[in-house]
Amino acid sequence: MSDSCAFCRITDGTDEASVVLDEEHVLAVMDLRQFHPGHVLLMPRRRIPDVRTLPSELAGPLMRAASRVTTAVSDAFPNEGISLWHSIGSAAFQEVPHLHIHVHPRRAGDGLLAVYPDHPPSTDRASLDEMAARIRSALP
């Protein structure tokens, strides 16, 4: 049965993929884009839009799989580091609305994922404390 979600078509076996890890709740496959060899996509089998709606019973299996896959990528492909990333929404360039974590080998100076366009100034403690309190009060 085909589905409009590209990742559901992979998790249900409709579309082919090169499988790295196949578990009850989690699937990891090779990304089609191999800027550095070893780029893996890790996702829950169920369609969950992003980590904000991840059921707690899937959080453990997903993070355990992330740890195992990252260890394997690190050992199996040349790298000078690894980036894990998960994007939410268009401003963060989320391309598929089905939670996925990229596991990507890094090389020094490769120019990927430059986090800040300019180095931001440090924020004072009072402001940081205020922001932390705001987020604490919003924790689900």
DSSP label at residue 120: P
Total residues interacting with Zn ion, rule: CB under 5 A: 5
Contact residue for Zn ion among 25, 47, 68, 102 (CB under 5 A)? 47
Active-site option among 86, 100, 104, 119: 100
43 near Zn ion, rule: CB under 5 A: no
**What values do phi and psi take at 65, rounded to 5?**
-65, -40
CA 60 to CA 51: how far, in whole Å?
A: 12
Q: Which stretch binds Zn ion (CB under 5 A): 6-14, 27-35, 57-65, 126-134?
A: 6-14
Work out whether strand 19-22 and strand 81-85 pair parallel, antiparallel, or are unpaired.
Answer: unpaired
Residue 26 structure tokens: 């989690």
Nearest distance from C-beta of residue 38 to Zn ion, angstroms: 23
| Of 10, 18, 62, residue with least CA distance to 38 | 18
41 near Zn ion, rule: CB under 5 A: no
> Is residue 100 annotated as a catalytic residue, yes or no?
yes
Residues from 76 through 135 that contact Zn ion (CB under 5 A):
98
